Structure 1
Amino acid sequence: MLIVLAIAIVALLGASFYWRGTHDAAPAADAASAELTDVRGRPITLAGPATRIAIDDSRYLVALGLIHPDPVSLLSAWPQDVNRLGDETYQQLLRKSPQLANLPKIGSSAGAFDLESLLAAKPDVALLSLESGVTEAQIAQVEAAGIRVVIVDFFVKPFENLEKSLRILGNLTGRQEQAENFIAFRAERMKTIADRVASLAKDNRPTVFLEAHAGINADCCNSPGKGNIGDYINFVGGHNIGADVIDQSFGKLNLEYVISRDPHVYIATGGPHLAKAGGLVLGAGYDEATARASLLKVAARRGISGLTAVREGRAHGFSHQLINSPLDIVAIEAFAKWIHPAEFADVDPAATLQAINSRFLSIPYQGVYWVDQR
């Protein structure tokens, strides 16, 4: 009898879920039940806004900050992966929401799935990344404990899943209108780029080498393959040389291969997390002179310095903190200008970021997030 009762309870939890929120507080009036399907195609029935969310990537705070004035207030746990945010952005969040420093820690999407820490945090919802590789068996274990698992994706297939993921966040938090407002803002700018790329000649696809986390170690070279940032390059009318040999969303290129392809444009990504390694540093807390000096340093490395793109001044640096989030529209606009400067001369990613800061973000992005070789 006890076994039968236990099975029934688990089935009930798996079939429907009511937010615990702030201990039986009534759900907000604007948070009607919403039928959701996550990016794995898993149907999820939710009722009311979530107030205890566990995230496995700190950059989800940026996504939540686009639609909610205090994203930290929604969290019950996070992976404490400050390197993904950058220390200055983390400090900004702490000044607004000091409780962030004391939230329980769970496993990051960059590492092994940690069931115990997630269960101990007792969230209403576990917001997990598609790239984390969490298995259906692990999801079943989490949901058997009464925790809803929702899979989102801003990384693996951004063009397929980013808008969908942001809508999921809007539904989870009762901020559907805010999510739709940002989606419309981004879509308008995406359409401008797509329309111009459609008018380009088919053979006008400059080759691009994007080195992710440039200078993180002596090895070369981290690169997007099919999906991920490579989709941005393709979207703006470039040809990502990494996609020709890397089948997954991310991998490594041999330096000799990069030299043999001699790409037309070189783009390095980096951020504050590369300061100790001597790699590309830019973002919050950095000025243009420092960012450019670090770009020149990574571009001067053996093999990279001889690329035509570097010799002719077509080397650029971009902050990894603005990638793998809904803020990717800023990266897309910058990439478009670098790959097709004449066609996108009037596109202004700085104005776009300023508009995002003033209209959407709860904590504005301040600092230098991209830089040119010259």
Structure 2
Amino acid sequence: MKTSLHRLARSLCAGLVLSLLALLFAQPAAAARIVDLRGRTVTVPDQVRKITIDDGRFLVALALIQPDPVRPLAAWPRDIHRIGEATYAQYLARFPALGKLPQVASSAGSFNLEAVLSAAPDVAVVSLDSGPSDAQIAQLQAAGIPVVFIDFFQNPFRNQEPSLRILGSLTGGQARAEAYIAFRRQHMDRIAQRVAALAATDRPTVFLEAHAGISKDCCNSPGKGNMGDYIDFVGGHNIGADVLKSSTGKLNLEYVMSRDPSVYIATGGAHLEKAGGLVLGAGYDAARARASLAAIAQRQGIAQLSAVKAGRAYGLAHQLINSPIDIVAIEAFATWIHPALFRDVDPARTLDEINRQFLAVPYQGTGWIGLK
């Protein structure tokens, strides 16, 4: 009798264990839902260990919200030119693992499905303006790799905050993401409140020459949106928006001279060194940056602009535009376009705060310069 009872008990226990195991394995893995910048609701693992990115500038965003921005990466595009050789060297010195990461395609080229599959991330983070096709997204999802779109470049005013929140959610950096968002918004609000009080006629004309000196042709300029949004936001009038229908394009030098803008802003960086264009940013000191700006400003046609003659000519590292730390560029624009209105705004102090409070790898070099 006892033997039978023991057998029955063992049988019941075994059945209970099997039932519990079956129930356990029947449950789906813990998951979370994210609404990406395409408006897609994407199911991602609740615990994301590794992601891939398709733009090196996303590394800077990760550095704002992670003490080690390389740790969450399964692969990156190695598009070093987008962050600059000097900046890459700084990240590599601080986080040597960056140099050993596998490579995936940059958002500037064709999406490489095989490279992402090989990297086997928990989530593939891609740029809003490019990334995989719908068919490729389906293939990645079939392989268990969700795809999430973010954006710091197409529409930074609308998309930077949700993009940082997505990266924070994926990498466990939510608190730091919210802290930086609040910091940026406080600085943005100060500018917006003052600009709102300006009269419609008190908007100086501005010519922004992107990648100044990259070629003999003049002149690369923002149109409506994108970089032009920065000029509008700080109370300027972008002359490129009056004739260009796209977000970027080329202006004739004759047109620029006929408009004779009140403020001239050039962007550049190390990528223009060989072309003899404007160089500044990481790896350049103020003297080298100012000499480069002076040379750019002495080109035929540009030298004749009233802005240049009056000393209202400025240079900005292109990597600071449409960047996760673009608040520094916004403040520089504000002080150049409305110096009296924003005399108490100090982009250098703002950058110092970002370096101390947020960036795992502080931004170094001359990010902006004036002709005088």
Task: Give the structure 2 partner of residue 239 of structure 1.
Answer: 237
**Which residue type is aligned with residue 92 of structure 1?**
Q
Deviation, 1:243, is: 1.7
- Supply the distance in 2 between the matched residues of 1:167 and 1:127 (Cα, whole angstroms): 13
The answer to whether residue 29 in structure 2 is matched with residue 40 in structure 1 is no
1:46 alignment partner, SS class: strand
- Supply the distance in 2 between the matched residues of 1:343 and 1:64 (Cα, whole angstroms): 33
The answer to whether residue 264 in structure 2 is matched with residue 292 in structure 1 is no
Q: Describe the superposition over 1:121-169 as per-residue Cα deviations: whole angstroms up to 9, x where unpaired.
A: 2222111111226432332233222211111111111111111111111
Task: Give the structure 2 partner of residue 270 of structure 1.
Answer: 268
2:202 alignment partner, SS class: coil
1:142–1:80 Cα change, 3 Å: same
Q: Any gaps of 5 or more consecutive residues in structure 2?
A: 1-26
Deviation, 1:89, is: 1.1
Greater shift in the superposed pair: 344-353 or 125-134? 125-134
Tell me if structure 2 keeps the 8 A contact 1:17–1:47.
no
Task: Give the structure 2 partner of residue 195 of structure 1.
Answer: 193
Task: Give the structure 1 partner of residue 168 of structure 2.
Answer: 170
Q: Any gaps of 5 or more consecutive residues in structure 1?
A: 1-15, 19-31
Task: Give the structure 1 partner of residue 128 of structure 2.
Answer: 130
**Which residue type is aligned with residue 98 of structure 2?**
L
- Supply the distance in 2 between the matched residues of 1:72 and 1:244 (Cα, whole angstroms): 42
Task: Give the structure 2 partner of residue 301 of structure 1.
Answer: 299
1:199–1:363 Cα change, 3 Å: same
Query: TM-score of the superposition, structure 2-length normalised?
Result: 0.89
Task: Give the structure 1 partner of residue 137 of structure 2.
Answer: 139
Query: TM-score of the superposition, structure 1-length normalised?
Result: 0.89
Larger Rg: 2
Deviation, 1:329, is: 0.4
- Supply the distance in 2 between the matched residues of 1:301 and 1:139 (Cα, whole angstroms): 48
**Which residue type is aligned with residue 87 of structure 1?**
E
Task: Give the structure 2 partner of residue 313 of structure 1.
Answer: 311
1:315–1:149 Cα change, 3 Å: same
Task: Give the structure 1 partner of residue 212 of structure 2.
Answer: 214
**Which residue type is aligned with residue 95 of structure 1?**
A
1:217 alignment partner, SS class: coil
Equivalenced residues, count: 346
Tell me if structure 2 keeps the 8 A contact 1:17–1:46.
no
- Supply the distance in 1 between the matched residues of 2:42 and 2:153 (Cα, whole angstroms): 22
1:363 alignment partner, SS class: coil
- Supply the distance in 1 between the matched residues of 2:140 and 2:221 (Cα, whole angstroms): 33
Q: Describe the superposition over 1:17-46 as per-residue Cα deviations: whole angstroms up to 9, x where unpaired.
A: 96xxxxxxxxxxxxx954321111011122
**Which residue type is aligned with residue 362 of structure 2?**
P
Task: Give the structure 2 partner of residue 342 of structure 1.
Answer: 340
* RMSD (Å) for aligned C-alpha atoms: 1.7
Deviation, 1:88, is: 1.3
Greater shift in the superposed pair: 348-357 or 280-289? 280-289
Task: Give the structure 1 partner of residue 364 of structure 2.
Answer: 366
Deviation, 1:115, is: 2.2
1:115–1:247 Cα change, 3 Å: farther
Q: Describe the superposition over 1:55-92 as per-residue Cα deviations: whole angstroms up to 9, x where unpaired.
A: 11101110000000111111111111111111111111
Task: Give the structure 1 partner of residue 71 of structure 2.
Answer: 73
Q: Describe the superposition over 1:147-198 as per-residue Cα deviations: whole angstroms up to 9, x where unpaired.
A: 1111111111111111111111111111111100000000001000000001
- Supply the distance in 2 between the matched residues of 1:268 and 1:189 (Cα, whole angstroms): 23
Which residue of 83, 86, 93 corresponds with 2:84?
86
